[in-house]
Structure 1
Amino acid sequence: MDHRRHAVGSGSPLEPEIGFSRAVRVGNQVAVAGTAPIAEDGSVAAPGDVYAQTVRCLEIAERALAEAGAALGDVVRTRIMLTDVTRWREAAKAHGERFSGIRPVTTFVEVSRFIDPGWLVEVEVDAVLPAPAPGAEWPVARG
C-alpha cells in the first residue's frame, strides 16, 4: 500500500500560522479539515445564512478532495458543526443536495463558537478511494 503523504493547501494565511493543511491524503484515505464559509475575497460568505454558508463549506471541501485525487462519491463521513444546532435542517438541505445519492455517515454537533463569529457552520469530510486493480498504481493526487 502506498503511504506517501500529499498535503493540499487552500491558500489560507492561517495554514502556515496554525500548521495545518486543507486536506491530507495518505494512500487511499483523504481527510479534509474543518472548512469554514470563507468567500473568495476572504470575507465571511453569506452572513447569517446557514444554508448558503454550508454550500460554501462544501464547495471548498469538494475542491480540496479533487486536488487530493478524490471526489464526493468517495466520501464516507461528514461532520457538520453549527453554532445553533436548532438550524440543522438548513445545513442538512445543503448537505443532502450533494450527498443524497452517496449517503456518507454524518454527524451534526453544536459548538459554542468558531474563530470568526460570523461563521455559523464548519464542515469536515473524510473520503476513502477504492483500491486500484492488482498491479495498478494508486491514482496520482492532483495539485
Structure 2
Amino acid sequence: MNHQSFPALPHSSTVGSAGVLPDPQTIDSVVGDQIRARRTALGMSQKRLGHQIGVSFQQIQKYELGKNRVSSSKLFEIAFCLKVAPSFFFEPLVAGPTTPFRGHAGGAGQKRFAYVATREGARLVETALSLPRPVRLDLLRLMETLSK
C-alpha cells in the first residue's frame, strides 16, 4: 500500500492571517463569541438555550468562553435555536478585509464586538433602535461630545 505524507496545515493564533488557518483554540473562541452574541441579541438566556439543546447552562458558558469545543451536531442544534445558518459561527474567521468582523482577533473591532455581546451593550443598542432616527443622531452627537 502506498502511504503518502501530507504536510501539516499552517496554523496561527491570529484570525485572518493570509494563507494560514487559525489555531483550534482561536476557532473555539470565535465560535463561542458568535454563540454569545447571537443568543444575547435574541434576548435568550444561557439556561433557555441549554434546555433547548439538552445541556446545562454551565455547558453553554463553557462553549461561549471557548473552554469546551462544540460538536458539529450541537453547533447545528444551536444554529437552529438561534435562527442562523451554521456558517454564521465561522463568519469572523472568513471575513474579508472590508467586513466589520475583520478586527475580531484584536483591537477596536474585538472591543466593539465584545461590548455589543454584553447585556449592557445589547440594552444600549435595543434602546437606541427604538428611538426615531433624528433622536438617535442627537444622542450620538451628545455621546461624542461627552467622550471628549
Q: Which one has a larger percent strand, Structure 1 or Structure 2? A: 1
- RCO greater where, 1 or 2, for CA within 8 Å and sep 6 or more? 1
Fold equivalence (TM over 0.5): no
TM-score (norm 2): 0.26
Q: Which one has a larger percent helix, Structure 1 or Structure 2? A: 2
TM-score (norm 1): 0.26
